[in-house]
Amino acid sequence: MGYYPQTQSNPITNMCAELNAIIGEQHFRVLYDAHIRQYKLSLTDLGKASKKYSYLETISMPFSEMFEYLNGILLGFRLAKQIYKF
């Protein structure tokens, strides 16, 4: 039987997984282009079909900018979750 770790070693993919967990469905995925060393937050097929979070999709950006972008989104969702208890 194969071993599947609960978390990955990349903080960007971990934050994307947390964002999907907060939303409740797999709306986002992170794409990495190794040639230019940049990340892109992209919608999955489910996310494209729902058209609910399309404004969060990004263009390619370096690790530090993507980290700050996802961190800001997650902080906002966590705060809203505490205030509005959803």
Domain-wise residue ranges, the chain: 11-84
Q: In the prediction, which pLDDT does 30 show?
A: 94
pLDDT digits (tens, 9 = 90+) for 25-43: 999 999 999 999 999 999 9
Residues 22 and 28 sit within 8 Å (Cβ to Cβ) = no
- CB atoms < 10 A from the CB of 1, how many? 3
Q: Give the whole-angstrom CA distance, residue 68 versus residue 15.
A: 11
Phi, psi of 44 (to 5 degrees): -80, 180
pLDDT digits (tens, 9 = 90+) for 39-83: 999 999 999 998 889 899 999 999 999 999 999 999 999 999 889
